[in-house]
Amino acid sequence: MARADAEHVRDALLPLCEPLHEAFAAADTLRRERLPELADEPLYRWHTTHTIRAYAHHGLRRADLGRWTLSGNHAHNGELWLTDSEYEVRVLHAMSDADVPPDGRLVYGDVMLPLHPPLFGPSNNRLLILWRVAEGVPKFRVVRPVGEWRYGGTQQTDLDFTLPASATELAAAEFEQAEVDLELQLPADDV
C-alpha cells in the first residue's frame, strides 16, 4: 500500500469521527441509565455489547454521516455496517482492550494485493472498525485486512490506526510505514 492510498482511506473516514464517538458514548450512557443492574456484571457482557451496538445504530440513523450511510441488515445479530461510494466498513466489537490500542499511530504496510482487482471499487475496499467502550469513552481501531478473512483467525492487514474523536485530529495525522508485518486477530464471534 502506498502512503497516498492510506491517506485516501483516512480522508474517506473523516465524516465518521464525531458521529461514531458521539453515538457510542451516548449508547453506553443510555445503557447504564436504563439497565443499571446489568451495567458491570460480567455474566451479561454479551447483552452490553448488543445493547450498545443497538443504541449506537439508532443514533447513527439520525446523525449526519456525510457521504456515508448505514448498510447491512441490523436485524441480523445487530450488524453495524457503513458504506460510501468507495468503501464498506464493518463495525465489530473488539474482544479486549488490547485490540484497540490508545497510541494513536497511523501505520500502513506493503502487502501484495490480490492479482485480480475487483471490477468495481478500489482493491481491498473492505475495512473493519473495532470498537470498545471503557469508562464511557469509546475507542475505535481501523484496519484493512488483505484478501479473504475468517473470524477467529489471524489476518494480515495493510492499514492500522486509531480513529480519533475529531475529524480535525484525523486530518492532521500522518501515516508512517510499518517496519513489521501488520496482523490482526479477528474476533471469533461479534459479541
Q: What would the pLDDT profile of 91-106 be if each residue is shown by its tens digit?
A: 999 877 667 665 566 6
Question: CA-to-CA distance for 101 and 94, rounded, in angstroms?
Answer: 11
DSSP H helices in 14-166: 17-34, 45-61
Mean pLDDT of 159-170: 92
- How much is the pLDDT for 160? 83
- The enclosing H or E element of 82 equals strand 81-83
- How much is the pLDDT for 105? 63
- How much is the pLDDT for 124? 65
* pLDDT score of 34 more than 60: yes
Question: CA-to-CA distance for 99 and 140, rounded, in angstroms?
Answer: 9
- How much is the pLDDT for 165? 95
* pLDDT score of 121 more than 50: no
Check residue 153 and report its DSSP letter.
S
Enumerate residues 6+ apart whose C-beta is below 8 A from 132: 93, 94, 96, 97, 99, 100, 138, 139
Question: CA-to-CA distance for 132 and 29, rounded, in angstroms?
Answer: 14
**In which residue are the cell numbers 485490540 written?**
99
- The enclosing H or E element of 92 equals strand 88-93
Check residue 95 and report its DSSP letter.
S
pLDDT digits (tens, 9 = 90+) for 53-82: 999 999 999 999 999 999 989 998 889 999
